A and B are shown apart, each in its own frame.
Chain A
Amino acid sequence: MFVKRLALAGAVSIAATAAHAECSFQNETPVTMLSAAFEAWVAVTDAMAACGNFSPELDQEFRTKQPEGFAASPSLYQLGGVSNGTITPLLNAGTIRPLDDLIADYGQNLTPNQLIQIDGQTMAVAMMVNTQHLMYRTDILADLGLDVPTTWEEVLTAAAAIQEAGVVDYPLGATMMSGWNLAQDFVNMHSGFGGTFVNPDNTPNVNTEAGLAALDMMMRMTEYMDPEYLVSDSTYVQQQFQQGRIAMANLWASRAGAMNDAAESQVVGLIGTAAAPLAMEGGAPSTTLWWDGIVVASNISDEEAANAFRLAMEGINPATVQAAPDAAIWLIPGYEPNEMSQGAIASAIATPAPPSYPSTTQMGLMHSALGNELTAFFTGAVSAEVALAAVEAAYTVAAQEAGLLE
C-alpha cells in the first residue's frame, strides 16, 4: 500500500513537472525570489522553476526580510512577491526598479489593468486580486425565504431571522482577530461609510462620524457572532463555514475555493458569494481591493534584471492559470471566473468602486494603531469615542517617531 502510494506520488510529481515543462527559454543565470508562501505563489514559482536555475524562497517572514534583503548591495534577491501593503517599504527605500522598458521587451502578454504605476512609472506587475466579500449558505437563505443581503442592515435582519430559526450555531462570522484582522475589518467598514484615514498633512482622521458609525455597525454584528470573535482569523472563519457553524461572513475571496474541498468541508456546493454589503445607500461595497504581484530589485545589474523579468513573465502566463485555476482571482488573460469568484468580481466592478488599499507609510502606521487600540472597545473596556481617540493618539506617537509629524 505504501509502495503503491510512493510510486503514485512519484508519477504525479513527474506528471506535474511535465505539465510545466513548457518554458519558452532555458534560464542560464541564477535567479532568486522572496515572496509569501500561499498557494498562488506556489503555482507561479513552480511555473518559473521549470525554466531552470531558479531558487524561490516562500517565507512567512518575508515582511521582515524583504526590505533588508533588497537593500543589500548587491541585492540578495532579484525578484520579490509583494502586495499593496508590502510594496511600500521597497518603494520608499527606492530598492525596486521601474519596469517600463522591461515590459516593452518581454511583457507582451500583460494587460493594462495589471500594471501598478506611480507617477507614470510602472513599479510592479500584478497577477491576482483579492478582496473581502459576502459568502453565505445558499441552502439556509433559501429555506428561510431570505434574499441575498445587499446592505449591512439587510445582513443584520437576515441574521436575526436565522438566529430565530436556530439552524446554525451563529448566523454571522467575521475575521475580527485582534491586530491586523480587526483593523482590516474596520478599514473596510469605515471605507464603506465614506471615511478616509489620514489627512494630507499626515494627521489622523478616524475619530469622525464615519468612524463612530463603523464601530457601531461592527458592535451590532457581534451580537450574532461566536463570542470568541477576537481570536478568529480567516482560517478560523473558513473552518466555521466548512463545519457548518455559521451562515454568513464577509470573507476573503481566496478562501472560497476550500469551501468545495470534500476532504475538509462539510458544506460542499452550499456556499454562494455576493458583493460586499453596502454600508450606506449609494455607497461603495464596504471592502478594499488588494493585489499581489512581482517587483524587480534595483541593486542588481541591468542584464540580471532583464533576465529575471523574463523569467517572471514565464510565471504569470496563461499556462499557470490553467494549471491552478482556483488558486486565486487571476488578472492573467485566460482566467475563466468560476462560480465562487462572482462575489469578488461583483465587488471590484461595482459603481462606485471600493477603494484600493493605500500603499503608504501612514496607512501602515494607522493599521497598526487600529489593530492595537480598537480591541478595548470590543471587550467593553472603553466607549467608541475613547477608543477612536486612543487610535489617533497611538498613530500620532508612531508618526512622530517615524518623522511624519513633528
Chain B
Amino acid sequence: MKFRTFIWFVGPSLFLMALFIALPLYSVLVGSFYNTYDVREMVEEETCTAGFLAQTCTTTMVSRPVFGEDGRVQTVTEFVGWTSYARVLEPARAWEAVRALDYRALMQINFWAALRFTLMFTLVTLPLVICMGLAIALAVNNAAKSIRGPIIFVSLLPFIITPVIGSLSIYWLFVGDGILTRGIEAWLQRDIAMFAQAWTIELLMLFYRVWHVAPFAFVIFYAGLQTVNQDTLESAIIDGASRWDRLRYVIVPHLMPLIVFIALIHLMDAYRVFEEIVGFRAQAHVISLQWLTYDLLSPDDAGNRAYSRANASAMLTMVGIVILLIPLLRRTWRDHKGSSH
C-alpha cells in the first residue's frame, strides 16, 4: 500500500507509543547521565517533637536545603557522565572480586546479585514454560471433547488471577506453618522453613512464574495443535514414525512460530521479574533487576529517591533484554524475509 495510507493506518498507534513510551524512554536515557540535587547549607536548628507528657527539644547542626528568591529550593542539575552507571555496577569492586575468583564478594554487590538471579530465573523458566504449555496442550487435545471446555477454563485460572493476590496465596500456603509446608514436614519427618534460605524461595518463585504463565503458553499451543495437518501426520505414520518421532518432526516444527512468539514474550516478562519478589518478600535473599530499579525509585520516609541511579539501572535492564532477544529477533527477521506477502 502507499506510504501515506500506511501512515494513516499506523499513525494513532505510533503517536500513543511515541508519547507514552518513547518520550519517557528518552528522558530515562538522558536522566541517567545527569544528577539533580538540592543545594544545602549547615545551620543550627532547635527541634521540638511531640512527647507523651512533654515536648523533647534538641538543638543540633543540621544540613538544610537553601531557598532561592522564587521561594523554591535551589537545585543543581549537572552532567555526571558514567558516574551513576559506575555507582550501580561498582566496576572496581566487581573486578577485584572476579580477579580473586571470589563469587561471594561479587554477589555482595546489589547489581550483580540481581543480574545473577534475573538471568537464572529467565533462562530456567523459559524451557519449563514451553514444555509445560506443550504438555498441557497435548494432554487436553487427548481429552474427551465433552470435558475440554471446563478443563480449559480451569487451566486458565492461574493466568487470570491478579499477581498481587496470586503470589500472596502461594506465600500463605508455605510460610511459617502453612498447610503445604506442614505437609512436606510430615512427609520428610523434619522441620522445614521455606522462607529461611535463598534456594527454597527461588524454587517457589520459579514455581509461581511457571504456574502463572503456563496457561498462556497452553492456550496458544492448543490453538496451534488444532491446525496440525492430519495428512502430514498420516504420511509420517506410513513412513514408520513412532509417536515420539511424530512429535519431534511434525508437530514441533509446525508449532515453531508459536514457540518463538511465546519465547519472545516470556523472555521480556521474566527478565522484568518483580511481583514475585514483592509477593514473597524475598528481598532478604534474592533481588532482581527491576526490583533494584524500583527500590532505588521508591522514596524512603524522608522523600529521597535515587533518580539518577534508577535511570541507569533501568537502562542496564533494557540493554540486557535487547541482548537476550537478539537470537529470536534474528530468526523473526529471517522469517520475514523468507515469507511472501
A and B touch in the complex (CB under 8 A): yes
Which chain A residues have a beta carbon within 8 Å of chain B's beta carbons? 63-64, 67, 83-86, 88-90, 92-94, 112-120, 126, 129, 169, 177-179, 182, 200-202, 226-228, 230-231, 233, 236, 240, 245, 289, 291, 293, 329, 331, 344-345, 348-349, 353, 356, 359-365, 367-368, 372, 375-376, 378-379, 381-382, 390, 397-398, 401-404
Tally chain B residues at the interface, Cβ within 8 Å: 62
Which residues between 281 and 334 of chain B lie within 8 Å of chain A, taking CB atoms?
A: 281-285, 295, 298-304, 306, 308-309
The reply on B240 being an interface residue by CB < 8 A is no
B204: min CB distance to chain A, Å: 12
Which residues between 91 and 134 of chain B lie within 8 Å of chain A, taking CB atoms?
A: 104, 107-108, 110
Question: Judging by beta carbons under 8 Å apart, are A86 and B60 in contact?
Answer: no
The reply on B188 being an interface residue by CB < 8 A is no
Question: Judging by beta carbons under 8 Å apart, are B87 and A401 in contact?
Answer: yes
B88: min CB distance to chain A, Å: 10
- Chain A residues within 8 Å of B49, by CB: 84, 116, 126, 289, 291, 356, 359
For A83, give the chain B residue with the smallest CB separation: B301
Partner pick for A93 among B48, B65, B87, CB 8 A cutoff? B65
User: What are the interface flags for B33-70 relative to A under an 8 Å C-beta threshold, 1 for contact and 0 otherwise?
Assistant: 00101111010011111111111110011111101000
Which chain B residues have a beta carbon within 8 Å of chain A's beta carbons? 35, 37-40, 42, 45-57, 60-65, 67, 71-73, 76, 84, 87, 104, 107-108, 110, 175-177, 193-198, 280-285, 295, 298-304, 306, 308-309
Give the interface centre of A63, A344, A349, A363 by most chain B CB atoms within 10 Å: A63
A64 and B297 alpha carbons, distance in the complex (Å): 10
- Chain A residues within 8 Å of B65, by CB: 92-94
Partner pick for A177 among B62, B284, B302, CB 8 A cutoff? B284
Question: Judging by beta carbons under 8 Å apart, are B283 and A117 in contact?
Answer: no
Question: Judging by beta carbons under 8 Å apart, are A398 and B67 in contact?
Answer: no
A178 and B110 alpha carbons, distance in the complex (Å): 14
A240 and B175 alpha carbons, distance in the complex (Å): 12
Question: Judging by beta carbons under 8 Å apart, are B108 and A382 in contact?
Answer: yes
A385: min CB distance to chain B, Å: 14
Considering the complex of A and B, which 10 residue pairs feature the smallest CB-CB distances, nearest first? A364-B302, A89-B303, A85-B301, A403-B37, A178-B284, A126-B50, A230-B284, A227-B196, A88-B302, A348-B52
A81: min CB distance to chain B, Å: 13
- Chain B residues within 8 Å of A202, by CB: 63
Question: Judging by beta carbons under 8 Å apart, are B48 and A390 in contact?
Answer: no
Question: Judging by beta carbons under 8 Å apart, are A381 and B104 in contact?
Answer: yes
Question: Judging by beta carbons under 8 Å apart, are B38 and A118 in contact?
Answer: no
- Chain B residues within 8 Å of A378, by CB: 284
Question: Known contacts A227-B196, A228-B195, A331-B50; is A177 also within 8 Å of B304 by CB?
Answer: no
B297: min CB distance to chain A, Å: 9
- Chain B residues within 8 Å of A120, by CB: 46
A198 and B177 alpha carbons, distance in the complex (Å): 40
A376 and B285 alpha carbons, distance in the complex (Å): 8
For A375, give the chain B residue with the smallest CB separation: B284
A386 and B73 alpha carbons, distance in the complex (Å): 37
Question: Judging by beta carbons under 8 Å apart, are B308 and A390 in contact?
Answer: no
- Chain B residues within 8 Å of A345, by CB: 52
- Chain B residues within 8 Å of A178, by CB: 281, 283-284
A201 and B174 alpha carbons, distance in the complex (Å): 47
Question: Known contacts A177-B281, A200-B60; is A113 also within 8 Å of B306 by CB?
Answer: no
- Chain B residues within 8 Å of A356, by CB: 49-51, 56
Partner pick for A401 among B110, B194, B280, B308, CB 8 A cutoff? B308
A212 and B256 alpha carbons, distance in the complex (Å): 58
Question: Judging by beta carbons under 8 Å apart, are A349 and B53 in contact?
Answer: yes
For A67, give the chain B residue with the smallest CB separation: B303
- Chain A residues within 8 Å of B54, by CB: 112-113
- Chain A residues within 8 Å of B299, by CB: 63-64, 67, 89
